[in-house]
Amino acid sequence: MSGVLVVVEQRDGTLHKSALEGVVAGQKIGAELNLPVFAAVLGSGIEATAQTLAGYKLAKIHAVDHELLKDYTPDGYTLALQQLITRHQPKFVLFAHTYQTRDYAPKLATALDRVLVSDAISFKVSGDSIVLVRQLFQGKINADVRFTGDAPYFASIQAGAFRADAIEAGSAAVEKTTPDLKPEQIRTKPLELFRESQRAVDLTAAQIIVSVGRGIKEPENIPVVQKLADALGAELAASRPICDNGWLPMERQVGSSGQTVAPKLYVAVGISGAIQHLVGMKGSKTIVAINKDPEAPIFEVADYGIVGDLFEVVPAIIDALGK
Amino acid sequence: MKIVVAIKQVPSRDSQLKVNSAGTWIEDGDLTWEINEPDAYALEAGLQLKEKHGGEVVALCAGPESASQTIREALAKGADRAIHIEMGTAATADPLGLARMLAKALESEKPDLILTGLQSDDLGYGQTGVILAEVMGLPHATIIMDVEASDSSIKVKRELEDGWFQYVEMPLPALLTIQSGATRLRYATLMGIKKAKTKEVRKVAASDLGSDAAGSIQLERIYMPERTKNSQIFDGPPKEAAAKLVEKLRFEARVL
């Protein structure tokens, strides 16, 4: 068993925004353990997309090509990758921790009698292997997870844990491979992709965002944070539970299922900072967190924080802004 | 339609967590517990499907004696019966080992549909549902917002990233992991709470179902994360903290 295989996600020929972060994680692990790094791209007529990785430091790019891989299905992707892994015997198989990875990577690992270490944020070298760090209790506690037993070892990497711009340049050849797939092996039928509404609010253009979370307690309290947004000339945004409850429209949601923003100032009010929210805002230039729980993960990414009751703190900030 | 909903009991969301002295798990003696929130939405989805199509909802839970409370709450909300896999703690089991136990406990059940939350609020692997599907040889889909069922198949609305969705069709039996927040959760009625006391809870010893560890990964150590960012935290009276914050934003970060 040798090498690191990074599975690179694409849709309609465009790489997933976290795909290159997975390659960077692979390159770093490969460098530490002196292992060659391979990439795999799955799809139908996928060679041109695979070619977009040819300028990076990789030992080879596998273009796993089959008409049954045109649209993603967990059965198709699992069978195709199972065959690739069985043939090439990588020691590590890495994924960016995307919604698609969550949908099939645990199945793939199970098919090979292994367990995926999901959503890892970093790794430490331990002998000729690695220990992965992942978060428990929505970011409140960290855990070291070790691979035991035989390779291959499967891991998915949290969005933002590695920087895509740290990718090492080089040159790599694309090798096309056609897996053995039959239509009857694919049990789910994916239909069209769609969006529910046109976005009227483009949060990504806002310079300042005030974002509200569960701490607001009641929809009647939304004006408390609206006033702060008005005082700062900010757009109002929210974490997922607020939009799920219909307290603010979905188009104002920040996070993995909403918009990804990076304003110069992001003020998180009553948001604990679940990872699904953090990935949507942690690139902001300055982050302010207001929360009653000093252990809330939002303080991990905050530049400035106030620990306290938002219903006292927010009006006090509005006052201070007026002075 | 026979629906199994796999639920987990986890520490309450606002718990102050402490790592035990051995660094193996949290100190859980004094904690309060609740149903894993995504699993509450899976239960709700199951109850709504039963109301529409008839049939039965069976709650499946692996955990210590204290998990009985979460099981009773599921029964009070409308689950018809439950299976309790009794084990010291399900918290640190690896997801493949646990899924194999769940599959074994379901051998005699032959459900049409298995539902569970998309991830747990404690370990957060987000894998148990998908692995259970693979172990049982079932098709699956994850992060589901809505389920339309017919006699032998379902059409589900799957959430993708960045506001995208997709419908997926698949034959039954199947397994789905349910997204939180897609619907409103019901409360248990007084009548429901009363009825729950008489509903069947089949208890199965974990030791009769094999090992909960697949022997492929090991949770080696847990610890409080170190702050990687140099956060400036202001406490004290809100007025003073607010004044300090605004001054920093104006003159240090210079974002106002």
Higher pLDDT, B251 or A69: A69
How many residues in chain B?
Answer: 256
Higher pLDDT, B5 or A160: B5
For A106, phi then psi, to 5°, come to -65, -35
Nearest to A136 among B122, B159, B231 (CB): B122
Q: Are B94 and A115 an interchain contact pair (Cβ–Cβ within 8 Å)?
A: yes
pLDDT higher than threshold 80 for residue B117: yes
Asked if B181 has any chain A CB less than 8 Å from its own CB, the reply is yes
Asked if A199 has any chain B CB less than 8 Å from its own CB, the reply is yes
The arithmetic mean of pLDDT across residues B62-88, rounded, is 96
pTM of full prediction above 0.90: no
Q: Are B130 and A190 an interchain contact pair (Cβ–Cβ within 8 Å)?
A: no
Asked if A187 has any chain B CB less than 8 Å from its own CB, the reply is yes
* Residue type at position A271: I
The band of A200, judged by pLDDT with boundaries at 50, 70 and 90, is low
Question: A4-185 belongs to which CATH class?
Answer: alpha beta
Nearest to B130 among A106, A192, A257 (CB): A106
Q: Are B164 and A194 an interchain contact pair (Cβ–Cβ within 8 Å)?
A: yes
Higher pLDDT, A300 or B50: B50
- For CA atoms A277, A279, A235, A225, the dihedral sign is positive
Rounded to whole angstroms, how far apart are CA atoms A168 and A149?
A: 31
Can you give the pLDDT at residue B183? Answer: 87
Which B residues, 205 through 244, put their C-beta within 8 Å of a C-beta on chain A?
214-225, 227-229, 231-235, 238-239, 241-243
DSSP B83-103: EEEE-S-STTS-HHHHHHHHH
Average pLDDT value for chain B: 93
Residues on chain B touching A241 (C-beta within 8 angstroms): 180-181
Q: What is the ipTM of this complex?
A: 0.92
Can you give the pLDDT at residue B214? Answer: 73
| Residue range A238-264, pLDDT digits in tens | 999 999 888 999 889 999 888 899 999
Asked if A10 has any chain B CB less than 8 Å from its own CB, the reply is no
C-beta separation of B169 from B144 below 8 A: no
Asked if A43 has any chain B CB less than 8 Å from its own CB, the reply is no
Among A243, A166, A171, CA closest to A211: A243
The DSSP output letter for A205 is G
Which B residues, 16 through 75, put their C-beta within 8 Å of a C-beta on chain A?
16-17, 19, 26
User: Percent of chain A, pLDDT > 70?
Assistant: 98
Can you give the pLDDT at residue B256? Answer: 87
Residues on chain B touching A145 (C-beta within 8 angstroms): 217-220
**How do the domains of chain A map onto residue ranges?**
4-185, 203-321
Establish whether domains A4-185 and A203-321 are of one fold: yes
Torsion of CA B76, B81, B86, B92, to 10 degrees: -70
pLDDT higher than threshold 70 for residue A198: no
The band of B90, judged by pLDDT with boundaries at 50, 70 and 90, is low
Question: At B129, which helix (H) or strand (E)?
Answer: helix B128-136
Q: Are B166 and A193 an interchain contact pair (Cβ–Cβ within 8 Å)?
A: yes
The DSSP output letter for A167 is P
| Residue range A10-30, pLDDT digits in tens | 999 999 989 999 999 999 999
- A203-321 CATH choice from 3.40.50.300, 2.60.120.1360, 3.20.20.70, 3.40.50.1220: 3.40.50.1220
Q: Which residue of A has its CA nearest to B154?
A: A188
Q: Are B131 and A106 an interchain contact pair (Cβ–Cβ within 8 Å)?
A: yes
Token duo for residue B158: 């799957």
